Structures are given as C-alpha cells and as structure tokens.
Amino acid sequence: MADNDIATRAPESDAQEKPAEAAAVQSVFPGDTPAQAGPSMGDHCTTDRPAPTGEKPSGDVSKLGGVDCYITKPSDYPHSPSKLLLLLTGGTGYKSANNQLQADKYASEGYLVVMPDQFDNDPAPNSVDMAEVQADTSWLESIKLKTAEGIKSFMIDMWLARHTPEKVLPLLHKVVEGAKEEFADAVASGGGIYGVGYCFGAKYIVILAGEQPDTVAWGQTQPKDEEQGSAKKAPVLKAGAIAHATMLTKEDLEGVKSPVYIAAVKDDPLCSEDEVLTPGRRAMENNKVEHEIQVFSGVPHGFAVLGDYDDAKIKQSQAQAFGQMLGWIQSH
C-alpha cells in the first residue's frame, strides 16, 4: 500500500506514529516502565477536528448496563441480520460528533454499533488551541502560553489518574453484558462481539481481546491464595482493530488471544515501537495469535478519527485506515 509499511500478516510486524518532542511522564498505569509511559496524551486524543460539512449523527443515546451509550444501527435492522460492534473512543468521548459519525460509518456497513461513555461523564479536558499564536508573540504572552500548556498537561494527567483500568474495565463489562441481553440477535449473528478502538479506547480493545486475570483490574478482589493463582477470563471480543493507541503496553499485547489489527503512526511517541509494538508483535507471534500491524507515515497521531483535514495525504490515510479496520473485522 502506497506510503505505508505493512508488517506481514498473522504473525505480523511492527508499527508507530508521528514525531513530537515531549518529556517522558510517569504512567498512571501500575507496572508501566517510564519508556512505556512516554507522553501521556496528545492534542488529537483530547480535541475534535471540525466535523465533515453537512454530516449529522443518526444514532441515539440510551443506557446499557446502566451506562450511557451512543447506539447506531444499520438502516434495515432488525429486518436484516447485523453484527455487534463495540467502539471505544479517544478522550473526546461518546458525545463527540466526529466519534458519533465514525460509529455511523460502521453501522452503514452492517454493524450495530455500541459506543459507551467509558469516562462516566468525564471526557478529557480540551487542549489549548495554539493555532492562532503569532510569531511575534511577546515575552509575557509566551510565558502565559507556556503556563497554559503546563496547566493543560497537568489537567490531562489528573484526568488519566481518574480513568485507570480498575475504573474503566468494570464499566465496559456492564455495557457488554447489557448489549448481550439487549442485542442477543446481533451477538449471535456475528458469533460474538467485535471491537474497534481509537487512542485511549484502543488500549481497552486490546485488553478485551485478551485472556486477562480475573482480579482487581476487573473490579474484583485479588485472590488471597497466590498458589491457586487468579482465574482467567476468556476474551470478550471475537476480533478487534485499533488505531494510534495511547497508554498501550507490551503486557497488553502479550495477553492478546483474539485476532487484532493495529494501525500505527511512524515514530509515534505515544506508542513506542521499541518498548511496546516490537515486543508485543513477538509475543503474538510466539502465541500464534493472528495479527497485522500497519505503519502509516507522514500523518499525525489521531489521523484515523473522523474529522475534516486540508491535507490530502491525511484524508487518504484516514480512509485507508477505516477500510483496513473494517476489512479486518469483516474477515473474522
């Protein structure tokens, strides 16, 4: 594929994102190394692009398992069979028009899409818009801007500290159980649940595609008898596809059991090739897990999330990533 590096297929190769100079921060996820933590979240994870002109979301908001969800369905559902797709967003959350339009695109391809409020009505703080900063900014204004950037970074770090796996995973399980009951026909039609995730949500699609300990990360109690070990939960997802993950760790990839497609950005500081993707790929190869990792170059982190861009290459890559992610879940 033009301009993109594709890392083999089932077992596959590595991937990454767009360069950006940023100091490493301490991860809010226990067990992450500083190298894995890297910059915590970028502007593309927390701020929407302008929505495509003239497009309006067509789904509705309702509750599943007591959690608000944006739910969008194929136009001919329930008269024609549909498959259930769990869509997890970046920090902008389920109320974002772009995220809702993204869900609608999958619905138009025959999926009943459930996009939950995985942040419990607490989406990421909006990033400070630096686009209008002029080259002749005064010294005082520069100080103010740097202060604003520092505050933004602090707010995002505090937000991440509120949304750890211990908080997010139990919420997602409520949604999944609610969806299994409410849309049993779609689950049966697809032979399980499919998942796609972007930025923050990508990590959780990977976790739900894995065999995970039935412990505190799932909102449950750590077993007292360590010799017995902890029970394992089978993968929630039949197959998953993600784009430009943030906060992903090699341990997340080591646990994967279901087929996974990863769209990454070359030299992405938010998803290290050396510390996350390469060891994760090797683990999936050793575990004989079907996977594909595709690297997109010359695009920013967040490029695959629906939004209006002037750059033709970004538009092309966005469409290509959607096609690859859709194709992956369709083929599984």
Q: Is the pLDDT of residue 28 over 70?
A: no
In the chain, where are the structural domains located?
A: 4-330
Most confident of 73-87, 142-156, 266-280: 73-87
What CA–CA distance (Å, rounded) separates 304 from 89? 11
Instruction: Assign 274 to helix, strand or coil.
Output: helix
Model confidence band, residue 42 (pLDDT cutoffs 50, 70, 90): low
List residues bridging with 264 in a β-sheet.
Answer: 295
Higher pLDDT, 154 or 245: 245
Q: DSSP for 109-178, please give it.
A: TTEEEEEE-TTSS-PPPPPP--TT--TT--HHHHHHHHHHHHHHHHHHHHHHHHS-HHHHHHHHHHHHHH
pLDDT at 53: 67
More confident residue, 225 or 196: 196
Banded model confidence at residue 176, pLDDT cuts 50, 70, 90: very high
Residue 131: pLDDT over 50: no
Please write the tens of the pLDDT for every residue from 290-323.
999 999 999 999 999 988 888 999 999 999 999 9
Residue 169's identity, in one-letter code, is L
Residue 285 has pLDDT above 90, yes or no: yes
**What is the model's pTM?**
0.79
Predicted confidence (pLDDT) at residue 136 exceeds the cutoff of 50: no
| Predicted pLDDT at 328 | 98
Average pLDDT over residues 151-170: 82
Average pLDDT for the chain? 80
* CATH architecture assignment, domain 4-330: 3-Layer(aba) Sandwich (3.40)
Quick one: pLDDT band at residue 43, thresholds 50, 70, 90? low
Pairing of strands 67-72, 111-116: antiparallel
pLDDT band (50, 70, 90) for residue 15 = very low
Per-residue pLDDT for 14 more than 80? no
For the ranges 12-21, 90-99, 132-141, the one whose mean pLDDT is highest: 90-99
Nearest to 20 by CA among 329, 272, 208: 272
- Checking if the pLDDT of 102 tops 80, the result is yes
Q: How confident is the model at residue 122 (pLDDT cuts 50, 70, 90)?
A: confident
State how far the Cα of 111 lies from the Cα of 66, in Å rounded to an integer: 22
pLDDT in tens, 212-261: 765 544 555 555 544 455 567 789 999 999 999 999 999 999 999 999 99
Using omega within 30 degrees of 0 as the cis cutoff, is the peptide bond preceding 78 cis?
Answer: yes
